[in-house]
Structure 1
């Protein structure tokens, strides 16, 4: 058997569309996403990720969802590789996996070709493109396991399988009903199922599936027409198929039902229970059918089309080095702000200190500075100013301590300078009065010599500023060894960049060069020249979302790459859910962060050359995979197609963050070791999260007012649990946003087109002109 491999790279990110998934699987709640976890020298692990909450604990309840939702989730998270399924016995699915069975010529190992022929069901290529997996509706009869020698795995319960959608054309595009027990015995003969099924159930208890379903339908009428003996047969049939494990699930479900009782007067019991101990009943089946109907949207509703990019995922702060993690989490708890705000500000402050110390060497010939540009956006009243003041405190303390240390020396130097200038003045006067040209020339030579020996007065170092013109920013950087931090709790610096002090002409070259470390030469006629050979500029801002919304209108910001240099954080607001009783950050956590930053600033004071931080081999492999993933998403129809300016700098930003994590972990001993795989992995996952925030910010920049109005209406509908409403209701509740009733027409039309609502006939309850009425899609409630 010879096959044609898909036109793809092994383990490349690929998310199948619904049309690539057999319809028998798409609506089952068995779907999740997955990501790669690199293992040096070995194949990468495939880690399942919940498409509901992003967790990796796939054994927990509520981990899975439908294919459509899993696909959408994976598409919104750039570092996820794709989607997959988890086999659960109750859905009657079985799956097989074969590894390393296809050679370069596409020839399939004979025993695998025979497995595919016998299974005769949906089969696809695995993510590594070196094997296959098949999925059928049936059972191996308990003969399951993993044979490493033969490269064959058979599973039918509690097993994660990736789903690539790379269908093997030689196999059916359907999940076929198959008895796989003979195939299972061939490879795992020692794994046997009980001959007579579960205890208390025998082959004679089997019942036609359609008969069971018809009986379940009768349960909708409280069991009317279903006698006690029939219930016994239904219970026996289900027990034979599912076994005691299935009954545990049914019993759990039934005990959650408000119908749980033991009323025998109707001829039925309301709990399935353990059939081997007592007769089967219909209550739990009734409950299960009810819950399935509630979970599935009514078939007459079209699929929902999202109004915008998926919500950004939280930063994985729990994976950051302890100095940063503990500080950010404690600050978030105290002021009850989203953890992204203190985390990003702390990272920015660390970058101010770190940029003075070192650059990171990613691979031969490729170096990155480790300064960052950060913009975190939150609405008013979320304690941005309080967190900003806390974050910059070590910078202020270091400047104050240095000022106190240098002031005596500065005063002495200023005194010597004043005295020397006075002597020069007197010498110059003597030269001017001297009539002998030879003696006058000698005096002037002395003046020149004295001027050359003028003592230099030390400047008080500055490590950050909050509000500065672009011209003076260059001067400040020159006076501080080419390095500076620009940190602010406002977004006014964007107006400065856009030309506030330059007749509206954008002036962003210094910011671009300061991010990249490119040389700067500024000559402004009468003003002193600014020369920066190796500049470093870190920016960390805490602004309101409207500031980011307006950035796309600034001339040159996107086209010249300024917006692509920022790392954005757009966490959700928690206003209305705060307790007002946040626990104060403990002194040790606060001082540990402060003292680390101050020690790093001192280590970088007057440093003539930066050190080089290298990556370990494992860290470099992880970074390279990150680069490949991002590169693949910048192509046509890729996740980053419309923000390539940002995505193109993401791998470099990940390396910068990893180097800062390394410095945070090792302090002044950062030179003693290379960046570890753990710090690089944490940086990559931070980059993944920041990518989701960047996509949201780029969507915010291009937001349509009518679409934004539609989102406001959706929040109103959800908040009040509305099943129906009128246009008049909507207007009356949103007069502060919509100045007239017809301003609602387009937002309502958008919601209608995207499946959130639909017009219905409305009968007015009183006099007056009738208003348009709408029914709400129950899937959004």
Structure 2
């Protein structure tokens, strides 16, 4: 008998010895297959040419929806514009171009591939800047040592002794130089606990980038579902850093930090649609205004889908992103990042008269549909910022194109993009509403979550504690099984050959990710 055959026989013997109910089979994801209204076509012509060309080539070569690549790119470019460029409509209506972009895409949608392409120029820029920063750091370190030497010498010989005046003057010059220590250019982080985010802002001169192609953990931290003893949302710093109008000078531990003027955070989180259920269940982030500060992208999946002609949407081919297109995008990122890293004072970008009038009509349209019975009434917690989000997008477009003010074309293109993101926000709202489980089903889910350390539960015990009729209990179990929240396991007869033992229900391990207890 061959070694391979002996090994296979040994595996078969061991497998046969394991009771069926003790085996752990691979789980399908919790079902999110709600029938949703199709989205309008993404307005590619609204993007500046340098962005439009790359989005089109990413979509063609990587085989992803155009909107997925465009949404992430908009979030990244908005951050690159920085903390010192603002649109100015009037004194009480200003804002920067940084965006909070939440992208919900199905499994297998190649989010990481898109992210690596779009982050590449940022990594190249950071590599160059870190070399400069380290060289400057060595100089400042030498100056600090020189200052320490002079101070020790003055103390030794006494203040007022011969030569101390010159030493004091040199120390003052060193102190003045050290006050201008450049900020750390590494603005990128995935640690968004409140304390870490504040320290990063202070270290990096008031700008932080939170970009993640797997934003489940980051979103859970914002929602207070991770590292939160009380379960409260941790969105305070993000609220303060959205408009850039506040000076941040605190941290949650009570330690003082250097006051940060015009703080700016760029947030781009990509995750799977199940995270929408967590977001929809956290009323606190809607009440605080965090949800309304976000733009939403929830594209239709391309996985396994076909074009009208029957060909696969993601059929394999030889398409590549051209070097010319990628280089133009890299030059854009370098131009914006170099400018924003050197700017120290705010610059205000006004609107042309035509652009102002167009935006006023857009504002009136949203406002008139925000009352009871209006088009945006059900989603008012998000819709309330649609008009100002349009101004942010207009500022972003104007800066990519190098305009000195926001022109009519800029605001019209921003409006086209905003209409698409409004449709996505409505789609998210509908998904959350349709995926909401009946209260009786949630009783069972909450039981699984509370007892998350136990994988298999007795059907008899679960029914006795459910507080519902047997037929209702069976309906709720069937519903949860249909959505892959759990599954029933058949058990063997007892040792005497009598009636079957009470069955078991096994909870989907994915529920651990939905649990507030998971860390």
Q: Same fold (TM over 0.5)?
A: yes
Residue 473, structure 1, aligned to residue 197, structure 2: yes
Deviations 1:423-475 (A, max 9, x none): 323444555xxxxxx879x9899789847844524443123323332212112
CA 1:700–1:531 in 2, change beyond 3 Å: closer, same or farther?
farther
Q: Structure 1 residue 687: deviation in Å?
A: 0.9
The aligned counterpart of 1:80 is: none
Give 1 or 2 for the bigger CA radius of gyration.
1
Q: Spell out the pairing of 1:477-556 with structure 2 (5 A cutoff).
A: 477-491=201-215, 492-499=217-224, 500-503=226-229, 504-519=231-246, 520-524=248-252, 527-554=255-282, 556=284
Q: Structure 1 residue 558: deviation in Å?
A: 1.3
Partner secondary structure for residue 45 of structure 2: helix
Q: Structure 1 residue 524: deviation in Å?
A: 4.9
The aligned counterpart of 2:401 is: 665
Partner secondary structure for residue 522 of structure 1: coil
The aligned counterpart of 2:27 is: none
Q: Structure 1 residue 627: deviation in Å?
A: 0.9
The aligned counterpart of 2:494 is: none
CA 1:426–1:563 in 2, change beyond 3 Å: closer, same or farther?
same
Match of 2:104 among 377, 380, 385: 377
Q: Structure 1 residue 656: deviation in Å?
A: 0.8
| Contact 1:361–1:614 (8 Å) recurs in 2 | yes
| Contact 1:424–1:451 (8 Å) recurs in 2 | no
The aligned counterpart of 2:86 is: 359
CA 1:705–1:646 in 2, change beyond 3 Å: closer, same or farther?
closer
Match of 2:416 among 685, 700, 704: 685
CA 1:445–1:660 in 2, change beyond 3 Å: closer, same or farther?
same
CA distance in 1, matches of 2:200, 2:297: 28
CA 1:428–1:312 in 2, change beyond 3 Å: closer, same or farther?
farther
Partner secondary structure for residue 690 of structure 1: helix
| Contact 1:377–1:544 (8 Å) recurs in 2 | yes
Q: Spell out the pairing of 1:384-403 with structure 2 (5 A cutoff).
A: 384-403=111-130
| Contact 2:98–2:242 (8 Å) recurs in 1 | yes
Q: Spell out the pairing of 1:267-416 with structure 2 (5 A cutoff).
A: 310-363=37-90, 365-416=92-143
| Contact 1:356–1:601 (8 Å) recurs in 2 | no
Runs of 5+ consecutive residues of structure 1 not aligned to the other structure: 1-306, 432-437, 708-739, 748-781
CA distance in 1, matches of 2:252, 2:288: 22
The aligned counterpart of 2:491 is: none
CA distance in 1, matches of 2:164, 2:251: 35
| Contact 1:402–1:460 (8 Å) recurs in 2 | no
The aligned counterpart of 2:186 is: 462
Q: Structure 1 residue 410: deviation in Å?
A: 2.2
The aligned counterpart of 1:759 is: none
CA RMSD after TM alignment = 2.9
Partner secondary structure for residue 541 of structure 1: strand
Partner secondary structure for residue 465 of structure 1: coil
Q: Which moved more, 1:367-376 or 1:403-412?
A: 403-412
| Contact 1:568–1:693 (8 Å) recurs in 2 | yes
| Contact 2:79–2:98 (8 Å) recurs in 1 | yes
Deviations 1:514-561 (A, max 9, x none): 112231231556633242232221111111111122112336211111
CA distance in 1, matches of 2:317, 2:268: 28
Partner secondary structure for residue 211 of structure 2: strand
**Count of aligned positions:** 397
The aligned counterpart of 2:470 is: none
CA distance in 1, matches of 2:126, 2:332: 15
CA 1:403–1:367 in 2, change beyond 3 Å: closer, same or farther?
same
Match of 2:148 among 399, 412, 421: 421
| Contact 1:478–1:532 (8 Å) recurs in 2 | yes
Larger relative contact order (CA 8 Å, sep ≥ 6): 2
Partner secondary structure for residue 532 of structure 1: coil
The aligned counterpart of 2:502 is: none
Partner secondary structure for residue 531 of structure 1: coil
CA distance in 1, matches of 2:104, 2:436: 19
Q: Spell out the pairing of 1:570-589 with structure 2 (5 A cutoff).
A: 570-577=298-305, 578-581=314-317, 583-589=319-325
Q: Structure 1 residue 602: deviation in Å?
A: 0.8
The aligned counterpart of 2:385 is: 649
State the TM-score, normalizing by the size of structure 2.
Answer: 0.70
CA distance in 2, matches of 1:615, 1:651: 14
CA distance in 2, matches of 1:683, 1:625: 14
The aligned counterpart of 1:202 is: none
| Contact 2:150–2:167 (8 Å) recurs in 1 | no
State the TM-score, normalizing by the size of structure 1.
Answer: 0.47
- Which structure has the highest helix share of the two? 2
CA 1:412–1:373 in 2, change beyond 3 Å: closer, same or farther?
same
The aligned counterpart of 1:181 is: none
Q: Structure 1 residue 308: deviation in Å?
A: 6.9
Q: Structure 1 residue 705: deviation in Å?
A: 4.9
The aligned counterpart of 2:359 is: 623
| Contact 1:360–1:369 (8 Å) recurs in 2 | yes
CA 1:746–1:527 in 2, change beyond 3 Å: closer, same or farther?
closer
CA 1:607–1:568 in 2, change beyond 3 Å: closer, same or farther?
same
CA distance in 2, matches of 1:445, 1:418: 17
| Contact 1:470–1:496 (8 Å) recurs in 2 | no
CA distance in 1, matches of 2:100, 2:387: 14
CA distance in 1, matches of 2:421, 2:207: 25
The aligned counterpart of 1:567 is: 295
Q: Spell out the pairing of 1:34-433 with structure 2 (5 A cutoff).
A: 310-363=37-90, 365-428=92-155
CA 1:523–1:745 in 2, change beyond 3 Å: closer, same or farther?
closer
CA 1:594–1:366 in 2, change beyond 3 Å: closer, same or farther?
same
CA 1:380–1:410 in 2, change beyond 3 Å: closer, same or farther?
same
Partner secondary structure for residue 101 of structure 2: strand
Partner secondary structure for residue 117 of structure 2: helix
Q: Structure 1 residue 490: deviation in Å?
A: 1.8
| Contact 2:249–2:256 (8 Å) recurs in 1 | no
| Contact 1:341–1:542 (8 Å) recurs in 2 | no
CA distance in 1, matches of 2:192, 2:111: 20
Q: Structure 1 residue 704: deviation in Å?
A: 3.6
Q: Structure 1 residue 570: deviation in Å?
A: 0.3
The aligned counterpart of 1:697 is: 428
The aligned counterpart of 2:466 is: none
